[in-house]
Amino acid sequence: MILIGTSGFSYDDWKGFFYPESLDKRDMLAYYASRFPAVEINSTYYTIPGPAAFYSMARKTPPHFRFAVKAHRDMTHLEEPKAEAFASFIRSIEPLTESGKLGCVLAQYPWGFKPSGEAAARLEGLRERLGDVPTVVEFRNAGWAAVETYDLLKRLGFGFCSVDEPALRGLMPRVAVATSRVGYVRFHGRNAADWWKHEHAWQRYNYLYSEEELAEWAPRVRSLDAETDVTYLFFNNHYQGKSAQNAVMFAKMLSLPLGEGGPAQQGLFD
């Protein structure tokens, strides 16, 4: 099963590109869920909300809808992760777990997190603290693109997050590997010029994939789908709705069904 969507949904600059201009921010998730079957929540990297926030999200989405939730930075970006961050995070996502709408947790590590015995121990600690919560790990440093990494993830029961990003030295290559029953691919865009140096964060992700670029991933995604129970595809090139446009484009290439959305959305990306 392949579920496609975008990294985040609550963007004001999507109005006129994906959302109707008049749509209230409170109605964005319901509108989004009428089109896509899954979403990746990134705001939890910065702030862990109370359970009520995810209860509301679960209530606004249909039964089949799934959420991937990014781990808080205190869980992944500290040499000694904070135990209280794990406790708060797990409590926060309980409404998704209880409703059956939690797809997985995304644990993204920084570029400076490189392969070592200490790094492996941190991953072991992540598994211990998350228990049986389905989790996918995203590495930013190319040093992790190795058989030893995949074997470690398999042993710990973690999925491997495949990424598409600029072909710059030190960044992860475009490989698709299944290390658990959850497959995962994040499309960050290929804006090499603004990746390392940019005035605003959105500039890094200001990129629209071509059909030819996405076609490179079609056989890789099908391979992941053959080895997993579910494969998530999330587009993070979110500026002005480009991620939604590419998600629709790739869904058509893979013959994945999507909802019709609201009247103002129908035909928008055809």
pLDDT in tens, 167-218: 888 899 999 999 999 999 999 999 877 777 877 776 788 899 999 999 999 9
Which CATH number covers residue 69? 3.20.20.410
Alpha helices in the chain (DSSP H): 28-33, 51-59, 73-76, 83-92, 94-99, 117-130, 147-156, 201-204, 211-215, 218-227, 242-253
User: CA end-to-end span of the chain, whole Å?
Assistant: 24
Is 198 part of a structural domain of the chain?
A: yes
Where residue 145 falls (left for φ over 0; alpha for ψ -120 to 50; beta otherwise) is beta
Residues 6+ apart with CB under 8 A from 22: none
Give domain status of residue 264, yes or no.
Answer: no
Q: What is the per-residue pLDDT across 79-111, written as a single tens digit (0 to 9) for each? A: 889 899 999 999 999 999 999 999 999 999 999
The two tokens of residue 160 are: 């491997």
- The total of structural domains in the chain comes to 1
Q: Which residues contact 78 (CB under 8 A, 6 or more apart)?
A: none
Whether 49 is covered by a domain: the verdict is yes
DSSP per position, 73-131: HHHHSSSS--HHHHHHHHHHTHHHHHHT-EEEEEEEPPTT--SSHHHHHHHHHHHHHHT
pLDDT of 225: 95
> Alpha-carbon distance 63 to 47, whole Å?
26
Q: What pLDDT does residue 261 have?
A: 56
Domain range for 91 is 2-253
Within a domain: 261: no
